[in-house]
């Protein structure tokens, strides 16, 4: 048995060696001879890591003509007709002082009020369209300062101003110049969502441009006690100084005239413009009247001052600076009540001569022109809220007290 065991062991080892050799050849064939399925779906290579460019960044493959951008083209076409408007007036102000004998007196000090805005030249002979509230301060002098987009300066006269429409027409008095102007026959379809461009002088920064979209139509906006209807809403930046400037589309066609901005905490991108459907007919009519091509509109049957006399029984006149000094009242203006009709709504409410009207409704009244135009259509039974200053003399001292009185028109 001892001589036969090594022989069988050798045979077993030999057989095992042959079997392992065969398996090695089979495994080698699989790894070097891929199947058809493996060849059709190769393993994708790993993505290369993105690296920042080294050195100078390559320029664009070709030049880009920025002058062909829509907004750039609109600005180039429209801006020459956009102007800056500066209106101002001198307002007397009084400072209470004591003389060397400790007597109280009022020393007059003149103060200048100023407003800025924009406008649009609408004819080659220098007629300008803007907002009425832009030139309101210059209503008495009827003159405002104009600066063209080129920097040239002129003086313009207020031809007409419509507070209800918030539109005004101005005229530059220089017949030697042909001004660049905007043709009002170019109007936009005013589609919701269309791109709009606002041009003007926000905060006095002339030749400024902003853009947005036409956000909404037929909006209403209330300023003091006056409601403006049918306005366009936009998210283009409209700030103080933009008022009176044009709002146009990407064709350079008129969308409207910028008018107001809704302001307040957490309120952004809500501006308003008067639509061209209102602006163009008003401007064409005002131009025709100014050039003598059409007779002027009929004057109202009664003025606001006359309506207050007829419906409320009050006679009033503007408070002058000298009268304010004599009465020793420290207010910038108002309407002095000179007569109260017996048995009138004013008399029944206890209103007396010498009282001063400083407001009607929510509107501040410093002089006759500040009276709301709605008073001209005042009907019997309509209520009117008056803000009054009453003067009471105590020895040599005049005390002033503010009161509100609600009257019913007769």
pLDDT digits over 200-209, tens only?
A: 999 889 999 9
Q: Are 357 and 370 in contact (CB under 8 A)?
A: no
For the chain, percent helix, then strand, then coil, each to nearest 5? 25, 35, 40
Please give the pLDDT value at position 42.
64
Collapse the DSSP code of 21 into the 3-class scheme (helix H, G, I; strand E, B; otherwise coil) and give the result: helix
DSSP type of residue 187: B
Q: Are 142 and 135 in contact (CB under 8 A)?
A: no
Q: Which residue is catalytic, options 115, 123, 133, 253?
A: 133
Mean pLDDT, rounded, for 163-190: 93
Kindly report which listed range (77-86, 193-202, 215-224, 280-289) carries the lowest average pLDDT score. 215-224
- Residue 199: pLDDT band (50, 70, 90) is very high
CA triplet 192, 275, 363: central angle to 5 degrees? 120
Mean pLDDT, rounded, for 94-98: 59
Please give the pLDDT value at position 28.
38
Kindly report which listed range (84-98, 264-278, 344-358) carries the lowest average pLDDT score. 84-98
Collapse the DSSP code of 385 into the 3-class scheme (helix H, G, I; strand E, B; otherwise coil) and give the result: strand
Architecture in CATH for domain 304-408:
Roll (2.30)
- Residue 167: pLDDT band (50, 70, 90) is very high
Most confidently modeled range among 108-122, 206-220, 389-403: 206-220
Intervals of CATH 2.30.42.10 along the chain: 304-408
- Residue 399: pLDDT band (50, 70, 90) is confident
| Cα gap 191→120, rounded to integer Å | 22
- Specify the fold of 195-276: Thrombin, subunit H (2.40.10)
Q: Which residue is catalytic, options 115, 161, 166, 253?
A: 166
Q: At 257, which helix (H) or strand (E)? A: strand 254-261
Q: What is the pTM of this model?
A: 0.62
Q: Are 261 and 246 in contact (CB under 8 A)?
A: no
Most confidently modeled range among 100-104, 222-226, 280-284: 280-284
Intervals of CATH 2.40.10.10 along the chain: 77-172, 195-276
Please give the pLDDT value at position 263.
55
Please give the pLDDT value at position 227.
74
Mean pLDDT, rounded, for 90-113: 58
Most confidently modeled range among 56-60, 174-178, 254-258: 254-258
Assess whether 243 carries a catalytic annotation: yes
Q: Are 241 and 205 in contact (CB under 8 A)?
A: yes
Please give the pLDDT value at position 104.
57
Please give the pLDDT value at position 32.
40
Please give the pLDDT value at position 82.
97
CATH of 77-172, one of 2.40.10.10, 3.60.21.10, 3.30.70.20, 3.40.47.10: 2.40.10.10
Q: Are 116 and 204 in contact (CB under 8 A)?
A: yes
Nearest C-alpha neighbor of 172 from the set 136, 128, 206, 129? 128
Q: Which residue is catalytic, options 149, 201, 243, 253?
A: 243
pLDDT digits over 308-330, tens only?
A: 999 999 999 999 888 888 887 87
Long-range contacts from 178-183, C-beta under 8 angstroms, 24+ separation: 178/124, 178/125, 179/81, 179/121, 179/123, 179/124, 179/125, 179/126, 179/148, 180/80, 180/81, 180/121, 181/81, 181/121, 181/122, 181/123, 181/124, 182/78, 182/81, 182/120, 182/121, 182/122, 182/246, 182/254
- Residue 27: pLDDT band (50, 70, 90) is very low
Assess whether 133 carries a catalytic annotation: yes
Q: At 15, which helix (H) or strand (E)? A: helix 5-32
| Cα gap 283→128, rounded to integer Å | 9
- Residue 145: pLDDT band (50, 70, 90) is very high
H-assigned helices in 291-396 = 304-312, 321-327, 345-348
The average confidence (pLDDT) of the chain is 82
Could you give the percent of the chain with pLDDT greater than 90? Answer: 49
Collapse the DSSP code of 29 into the 3-class scheme (helix H, G, I; strand E, B; otherwise coil) and give the result: helix
């Amino acid at each position: 048995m001892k001589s036969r065991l090594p022989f069988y062991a050798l045979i077993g080892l030999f057989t095992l060696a042959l079997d392992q050799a065969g398996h090695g050849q089979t495994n080698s064939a699989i790894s070097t001879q891929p199947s058809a399925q493996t060849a059709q779906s190769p393993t994708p290579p790993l993505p290369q890591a993105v690296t920042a460019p080294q050195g100078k960044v390559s320029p664009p493959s070709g030049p880009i003509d920025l002058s062909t951008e829509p907004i750039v083209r609109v600005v180039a076409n429209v801006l020459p007709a956009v102007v800056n408007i500066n209106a101002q007036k001198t307002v007397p102000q009084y400072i209470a002082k004591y003389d060397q004998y400790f007597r109280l007196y009022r020393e007059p000090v003149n103060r200048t009020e100023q407003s800025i805005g924009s406008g649009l030249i609408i004819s080659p002979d220098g007629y300008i369209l803007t907002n009425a509230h832009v030139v309101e301060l210059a209503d008495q002098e009827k003159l405002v300062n104009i600066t063209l987009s080129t920097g040239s300066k002129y003086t313009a006269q207020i031809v007409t101003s419509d507070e209800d429409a918030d539109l005004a027409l101005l005229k530059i008095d220089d017949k030697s110049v042909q001004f660049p102007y905007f043709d009002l026959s170019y109007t936009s379809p005013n589609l919701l969502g269309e791109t709009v461009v606002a041009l003007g002088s926000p905060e006095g920064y002339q030749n400024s441009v902003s853009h947005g979209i036409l956000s909404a139509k037929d909006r209403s906006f209330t300023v003091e006690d006056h409601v403006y209807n049918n306005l366009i809403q936009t998210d283009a930046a409209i700030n103080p100084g933009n008022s009176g400037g044009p709002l146009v589309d990407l064709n350079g066609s008129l969308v409207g005239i910028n008018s107001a901005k809704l302001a307040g905490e957490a309120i952004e991108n809500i501006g308003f413009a008067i639509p061209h459907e209102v602006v163009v007919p008003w401007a064409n009519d005002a131009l025709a009247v100014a050039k003598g091509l059409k007779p002027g509109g009929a004057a109202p049957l009664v003025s606001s001052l006359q309506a207050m006399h007829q419906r409320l029984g009050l006679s009033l006149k503007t408070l002058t600076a000298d009268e304010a000094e004599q009465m020793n009242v420290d207010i910038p203006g108002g309407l002095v009540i000179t007569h109260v009709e017996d048995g009138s709504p004013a008399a029944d409410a206890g209103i007396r001569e010498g009282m001063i009207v400083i407001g009607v409704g929510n509107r501040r009244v410093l002089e006759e022109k500040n009276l709301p135009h709605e008073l001209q259509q005042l009907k019997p039974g309509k209520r009117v809220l008056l803000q009054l200053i009453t003067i009471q003399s105590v020895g040599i001292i005049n005390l002033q007290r503010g009161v509100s009185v609600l009257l019913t028109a007769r």
